[in-house]
Structure 1
């Protein structure tokens, strides 16, 4: 299976495979949402089936919960877990300080709650997600459905005083209807191009009535595992100030995921 992967999927897979090394027996682990996080869930599922790994998984979306159960992970809620040893999740962008933009998959609220309820957060990403300055990826902002157009207007007006290059936004759609999060909310995508002061923007957005949460993850990520299409992996730990490099070999006959649909 691995030999059939595209370079981008190889990068996601090796990042997920390397990050799975952080998971130890008996842990309570937050499981992220998105294509890269899905590889991680599958890798952990293999460890559960083949190595007897015993963990409690706390998913950040219904999609992740379904996949985790399919691969044999014992799924519990955050309320049952109380606190987590580790959360591993993807990111839409990350900068040199390991600040993130997340929410491209629409699960930013649960992802942020789970990540901040963890002793450690590890981000897994392909190298294309690294940026010098956040903002090229549209910033998701979760808003309640009531008065969302008024909230959108207030957000755009507030952006005038923020250090950003773009100030337009759009309601995320799912076909002909507004996208609805697991919590029953909508998402506004902000096209900012460049965010000069992510910390300030995050605080201002979250003070606005109608805004539930935004996709800026500031001072939450502890380490990032970066995958490359040729199998190389780089691990940057911001707390220890270390950078480690490795390479994972692909086995052309590897059937790790042949029983699962993408």
Structure 2
């Protein structure tokens, strides 16, 4: 497991490569940093990485470029292995890599994108725990090891739970656009009918397939994003509790505090201690 974090006062480019060909799953936290994957004169761009779980194969020729800005810090966990190590992985991990990430085992290019999904609230919480743990030294290493297994289990669970004939790619793109709209308008989100109109998908499909793709209904996802964003604002000391509540669309401080405590287990005023 590789845990990457970075913040910047002005736009900054963070670039990395792997030393050998790897099969990996990259999990992005709340930073929502931009990712560009460059290889063989080509470039693939991921503009909205918040909550993204990206499986891929990459060799030494691939460059991963993150653009870090003050409002979009880098928070990325990479769980990786060389294909030659799959048979030695514990707890059936190698078998799951082979079954669910089969297209990555016989790559036809320097970079091959495998299944890409957005994490549900439970998996996002597990990712956030990695970035915010207070453990140090050997206990921290043990914690990372346990989280590696847990996060892989949740990611493979997402893939295995998908029904045969899952959401078509065009509709998946429309749902990802709906997610982007919600994230960009936390303080004043569109209604369900307006969101449906903007992405070109009827309301029934929007509700049904959004839950199928992201694991929760539309407005449960919205609430989770609001509270996660408020948590980040408070953790970075950028706003007061009242200001953070307003920023993410809560008019009532009492309602915000209750929802925050239900999600995180402590009041928003306690996060800055």
> What's the TM-score, normalizing by structure 1?
0.24
> What's the TM-score, normalizing by structure 2?
0.23
The answer to which structure has the higher strand fraction is 1
The answer to which structure has the higher helix fraction is 2
Q: Which structure would you say has the larger Rg?
A: 2
Greater relative contact order, per chain length (Cα 8 Å cut-off, separation 6+): 1
